[in-house]
Amino acid sequence: MSDARDAIFKALGDPTRRIILDELSERNGQTLYELTVRLISNHELSITRQGIAKHLAVLEEAALVKSEKKGKYRVLMFHNEPLKHLMRGWLGDS
In order of start, what are the domains of the chain with their CATH numbers? 2-91 (1.10.10.10)
pLDDT for position 56: 97
Residues across the chain? 94
53 within 8 A of 32, measured Cβ to Cβ: yes
Mean pLDDT score of the chain: 91
Pairing of strands 30-31, 65-70: unpaired
pLDDT for position 35: 95
- Tens digit of pLDDT for each residue in 37-55? 999 999 989 888 899 999 9
52-55: which pairs have CB atoms within 8 A and are 24 or more residues apart? 52/20, 55/14, 55/16, 55/17, 55/20
- Report field, pTM of the whole predicted structure over 0.75: yes
Q: Which of 5, 15, 10 is nearest to 57 (CA)?
A: 10
